[in-house]
Amino acid sequence: MMQPSRWSGHQPRRRAAQLVLGLLVALGALLCSQVASAQDSEIKIRVQVKDQQRDAQGSADNQPVAGVTVNVLDEAGTQIATAVTDDKGVAVIPVPEKGNYTVQIDEETLPDDKVLSTAAEQKVTTEQFVTPTRTVNFFTGTSQSASQGQLERISQRIADGVRLGLIIAMCSVGLSLIFGTTGLTNFAHGEMVTFGAMIAYVLNKSGLHIMLATPIAVVAGGLLGYVLDRWGFGQLRKRNVGLISQMVITIGLAIILKNLFQFFFGGRDKPFFDYTNQVGKKIGPVTITPRDLIVTILSGIVLVAVALTLQYTRLGKATRAVSDNVDLASATGIDSSRVIRMIWIAGGALAALGGVFRGLDEQVSWDMGTALLFLMFAGITLGGLGNAYGALVGGFVVGVLVETSTLFGVPTELKTAPALLILILILLVRPQGILGQAQRVG
Amino acid sequence: MDVTYVIENTFAQLVGRNACYYAIAAIGLNVQFGYTGLLNFGQAAFMAAGAYGLGMTVSVLGVSLWWGIILGVAYSIVLGLLMGIPTLRLRADYLAIVTIAAAEIVRLVVRSVKFRDTFGGTDGLKDFARPFQNIGADIGLEPAKTYGFWAFKFSGKDLWVLIVGWSLVVIFGVFVWLLMRSPWGRVLKAIREDEDAVRSLGKNVYSYKMQALIMGGVIGTFGGMILALGTANVQPDNFSRDLTFFILTGLVLGGVAKVTGSIVGPMLFWAIYAFIESVLRELVRDGPLRWGGRTIIQSTQVGQVVFMFMGAMLIALMAFRPQGLFGNRRELAFDGR
Amino acid sequence: MDAESLAPSLSETARIARQALSDVAPEPGVHKPDPILKAVGVRRNFGGITAVDVDRVEVQRGSITALIGPNGAGKTTFFNLVTGFDKPDAGNWSFDGESMEGVASHKMAARGMVRTFQLTKSLTRLAVIENMKLGATGQRGEKWWNGLLPGTWRSQEAEIEQRADELLARFKLHHMRDEYAGSLSGGQRKLLEMARALMTNPTLVMLDEPMAGVNPALKQSLNEHVRGLRDDGMTVLFVEHDMDMVHDISDWVIVMAEGRVIAEGTPDDIATNTDVIDAYLGAHQGLSLLEDEL
């Protein structure tokens, strides 16, 4: 549900104050979150029903199944309690004592397209109550009757690929332009993506709706880019530090940021708090949740805006000129350092936005950006290193390729492998990429 | 705080298994990056080739361990060719991108469910180190007995690995040192400076770069083998995304383009790592580190804090002392690239 | 105006070269009696701009030939094409009678053609003597398996070092022998690059703007060295903007403009050639090139 925008028309100062307040609240929430939860001495059985999925890296990405009826029977077989799983897929059932019980799933209450992939019944014994609460897990998977036809499967993969491709494209524009203008390959760019998701998560967790958290995260991303150029790489460029040294510094930066994120966020994947548990709607041959649909559309809009900016605005033209040939651009009066500064800011903002969208798509994790980095590199190499349009095209192609590769027998856990093959192929055949200029040899 | 624990741990790691296999890998990385200027960010993939090559022989193929060495080296050469052929004629950044991609794919493949029969999936491969350990026992090092003094106490099993490992360090160190003083080494150093100049003098730059890439990779492979033999277990998580970067940190710390640097650097890396980690662990031993009622660090977060420090150290080195400990400041003063 | 009477006494090789060229008509693309380098129909485009479009260029063996032209004429591009550092879109050329089509740049030196670069490429982190030793071809020690066994290359290295020292002495760089090349001055680096090129025992030496950035005091000495190359039996082809040098030492001049060869001849022919003057100066007609340095 869209909230009316409260930001338009107010003074920047108030907005900044709210931003700072939001950040302080987030920080406070983080620090306070270390408090251990109070112990409960009642005996309970905690039933979790999860739908098994695999994410882009092939690791478990289980979604909760809500609305399932769970029955608990005692040793004699008499039903003593019943409950329904909440929107986190959990039902907590109090039992009189630590003893032997049978936990049953009422299969008729499962969603239409899901079947249990474990048994419908599990037994719980007295010894298993090590703590007062005993957890029992049930897993579901997509049922045969609901399995998609050929066309539907292909369309689904393409839709997923489009979504991933748009996100990769968005994240990698900055990466490509930073390379084009300064010659620096920024190995910390993945962390700039994660950064956006982290900021949004922290704000979201402290109560701010994701729609409001996102613009703040984008601004934060832009700010990060500004800081990195102003006090980091801009200074190194001034001191004439070699490109390889700068590259190694981006690696050090990536290590610091990665571990910083893990430090605060923890090792597990976590979803945002809004728009979870949506039901997929069928649009033509494709089943897609409203959230994913909107992410796709918004990504497309943002990328079109980026392309238009590059094509028609002064800044866009200056950017393309500097990216093509720094000295020539400077000779025509363009302030190259200002353009480079803007690229870092815009690149950081776009990466942050991509991170939020990715987090909505696939949950937030401390290393989500690192996993994307290699795909971003494949994309910008395919499109042409240093070419902004190349990043858009290349990133998009890589995304579609990765998702559709499963149609050709590539196992889900290895679906990023074709991106490496594409990388090697393009370097063998046309190293300058699709849109790049052929480099003069020697 | 148990100061003795901290100090002992630090010294133990200075010469321990981790420093050892890092040093071997760093010697290899030095040939590629330090001397030739090749941006190999996938040394972890070469190490995995060695480790899995070794592990596969017994568990999967059922042949003698010695074949594992040959298999590992063979994997490594193929990997080097695969990464080098598309990229060595292009600018340096392309090799960086491809090596990172390759390391990622190697990691995904060896931990995949699909290839679990070959590579052992997330559990990895075990049961291959026995023949190696037997040799150690045969020469008189009882596996369970503790040898050594003060901080340097190692079990017989570990001591055998260390003896073999550090011998390899010396062998490869001398090997690289000799090579770099030869005309071959001169060509590599010149390539790092300016490929075109070297081409104009009639040298096949592409061929030399490939030789350096593969040689460094094969040396790194032996590092992976020592890792495998040391833990008697080959797991995908040993070859994390950041492994190459930490080896690079060790190398930079010691001094690029210097053999002593590539050996002492990783040793110091692990000593520093152990020191910081031990200190932090001591601080959080009885409870999370608090300050004014707020928890700053919990025991589960110690690893991340140490890594953050190592990352900061890498940045500081590159910005303020790129020649590391043993490197030549004058040499690096001419770095304009 | 007799070039011979103005220049210092010419060596025997120079006399032969000038003799051979005296019968050659000053026409663009003219044949030479004994060409060491022949380029035919060479074309190179860069995204719509024709950088080089040369019908025919021949370089006389044993001569010092200058390649001149205004900025953007395509001289360095042509240079890169002929030395294998760039691939032409069309055309072929031959060196010493052998076709060089598709031959990689590093193979050129093996065949006797060496080039220098406009932006000097001294290998700054190597010592001067190491720079020199690098130049020698056919080194056994450059194979890595030999590299491990000093016995296989020590003696050859000693020979090479001796040759290097001799060349360094000739170029007056011997006192800097053990210094890092990075500590040499700009002019010294030019000399080093030239000396290093000679280590390959070339038959054709191609210099890309050897006078660029060199202080006037050093120019005379560089001129002498270039003359010395010819006197030793090598052919020299150089790209230059410095008209004094061109006039002083060249036996033959080739002029390029907008990618084409517009004139050829002796330095005197060229100095008064109106096409050439037009190409350089545009509206300023009737001025000899010598009076207007670019």
Nearest to C134 among B190, B192, B333 (CB): B190
Distance of alpha carbon A213 from alpha carbon A357, whole angstroms: 12
Q: Cβ–Cβ of A440/C80 closer than 8 Å?
A: yes
Q: Does A429 touch chain B (CB under 8 A)?
A: no
- The nearest CA of chain B is from the CA of A249 a distance in Å of 5
pLDDT given at position B331: 64
pLDDT given at position A67: 84
Confidence label for C182 from pLDDT (cuts 50, 70 and 90) = confident
Task: Please check whether residue C184 is in contact with residue C128, taking contact to mean a CB–CB distance below 8 angstroms.
Answer: yes
Confidence label for A441 from pLDDT (cuts 50, 70 and 90) = very low
Residue identified by tokens 């663009």 is: C28
Averaged pLDDT, A392-419: 89
Please report, in tens digits, the pLDDT of each residue of chain B (337 residues total). Answer: 788 888 888 999 999 999 999 999 999 999 999 999 999 999 999 999 999 988 887 677 777 778 888 989 999 999 999 999 999 988 888 999 999 999 989 998 998 888 888 888 888 888 788 888 888 888 877 777 788 777 788 888 888 899 999 999 999 999 999 999 999 999 999 999 899 999 999 999 999 999 999 999 999 999 999 999 998 888 888 888 789 999 999 999 999 989 999 999 999 999 999 999 999 888 888 777 777 666 778 778 888 999 999 999 999 998 888 888 888 776 665 454 4
Confidence label for A146 from pLDDT (cuts 50, 70 and 90) = very low
How many other C-beta atoms lie within 10 A of the C-beta of residue C291?
A: 8
Query: Tens digits of per-residue pLDDT, A36-56?
Result: 333 346 788 888 888 877 666
Q: How many contacts (CB atoms, under 8 Å) link A and B?
A: 141
Residue identified by tokens 């030496």 is: C205
Query: Residue A326 pLDDT > 80, yes or no?
Result: no
Query: Residue A434 pLDDT > 70, yes or no?
Result: yes
Nearest to A440 among C84, C86, C105 (CB): C86
Averaged pLDDT, A360-375: 90
Token pair recorded at residue A279:
């039901």
For residue B114, the chain A residues in CB contact (below 8 A) are: 411, 413-414
Query: Tens digits of per-residue pLDDT, A74-132?
Result: 877 788 888 888 888 888 888 888 888 888 888 778 877 777 777 778 888 887 887 88
**Which residues are bridge partners to C67 per DSSP?**
C239, C254
Q: Cβ–Cβ of B201/C200 closer than 8 Å?
A: yes
Confidence label for A12 from pLDDT (cuts 50, 70 and 90) = low
Token pair recorded at residue A125:
């014994």
pLDDT given at position C5: 46
pLDDT given at position C22: 82
Residue identified by tokens 């307040």 is: A21
Neighbours of chain C (3+ CB pairs under 8 A): A, B
For residue C126, the chain B residues in CB contact (below 8 A) are: 186, 189-190, 193
pLDDT given at position A397: 94
Token pair recorded at residue C28:
């663009």
Closest A-chain CA to C87: A441
**Which residues are bridge partners to C105 per DSSP?**
none
Confidence label for A195 from pLDDT (cuts 50, 70 and 90) = very high
Distance of alpha carbon C61 from alpha carbon C81, whole angstroms: 20
Query: Residue A26 pLDDT > 70, yes or no?
Result: no
Q: Cβ–Cβ of A442/C105 closer than 8 Å?
A: yes
**pLDDT, mean over chain A:** 83
How many other C-beta atoms lie within 10 A of the C-beta of residue B69?
A: 17
For residue C167, the chain B residues in CB contact (below 8 A) are: none
For residue B305, the chain A residues in CB contact (below 8 A) are: 259, 263
Task: Please check whether residue A348 is in contact with residue A228, taking contact to mean a CB–CB distance below 8 angstroms.
Answer: yes
Query: Tens digits of per-residue pLDDT, A135-144?
Result: 888 888 765 4
Give chain C's radius of gyration (CA, Å): 20
Query: Residue C193 pLDDT > 50, yes or no?
Result: yes
For residue B330, the chain C residues in CB contact (below 8 A) are: 180
pLDDT given at position A142: 66
pLDDT given at position A137: 85
Mutation target to probe the B interface, by most B beta carbons within 10 A, among C83, C123, C128, C137 is C123
Query: Residue C161 pLDDT > 90, yes or no?
Result: yes
Query: Tens digits of per-residue pLDDT, C67-90?
Result: 998 887 888 889 888 888 888 888
Q: Cβ–Cβ of C134/B187 closer than 8 Å?
A: yes
Q: Does B26 touch chain A (CB under 8 A)?
A: no
Q: Helices H, strands E: what count in chain B?
A: 15, 4
Q: How far is CA B35 from the centre of its chain?
A: 17
Task: Please check whether residue B280 is in contact with residue B288, taking contact to mean a CB–CB distance below 8 angstroms.
Answer: no
- The nearest CA of chain B is from the CA of C178 a distance in Å of 13
Residue with more model confidence, C288 or B318: B318
Distance of alpha carbon B183 from alpha carbon B197, whole angstroms: 16
pLDDT given at position B51: 92
Q: B142 in helix, strand or coil?
A: coil
Residues 6+ apart with CB under 8 A from B97: A185, A377, A378, A381, A423
Q: Cβ–Cβ of C144/B184 closer than 8 Å?
A: yes
Averaged pLDDT, C254-258: 89
For residue C114, the chain B residues in CB contact (below 8 A) are: 200-202
Token pair recorded at residue A275:
């728009």
Averaged pLDDT, C42-62: 87
pLDDT given at position A255: 94
pLDDT given at position A290: 86
pLDDT given at position C8: 53
Q: Cβ–Cβ of A185/B298 closer than 8 Å?
A: no
Mutation target to probe the C interface, by most C beta carbons within 10 A, among B89, B201, B206, B215 is B201
Which 99-158 residues of chain B touch chain A by CB within 8 A? 100-102, 104-105, 108-109, 112-114
For residue A427, the chain B residues in CB contact (below 8 A) are: 86-87, 90, 94, 98
Distance of alpha carbon C246 from alpha carbon C238, whole angstroms: 9
Distance of alpha carbon A291 from alpha carbon A286, whole angstroms: 14
Query: Residue A354 pLDDT > 50, yes or no?
Result: yes
Averaged pLDDT, A329-334: 80
Of A98, A99, A71, the C-alpha closest to A85 is A71
Closest A-chain CA to B301: A263
Query: Residue C292 pLDDT > 60, yes or no?
Result: no
**pLDDT, mean over chain C:** 84
pLDDT given at position A174: 92
Distance of alpha carbon A105 from alpha carbon A121, whole angstroms: 6
- The three-point CA angle C235-C38-C167 to 5° equals 20
Of A429, A335, A387, A368, the C-alpha closest to A194 is A368
For residue C208, the chain A residues in CB contact (below 8 A) are: none
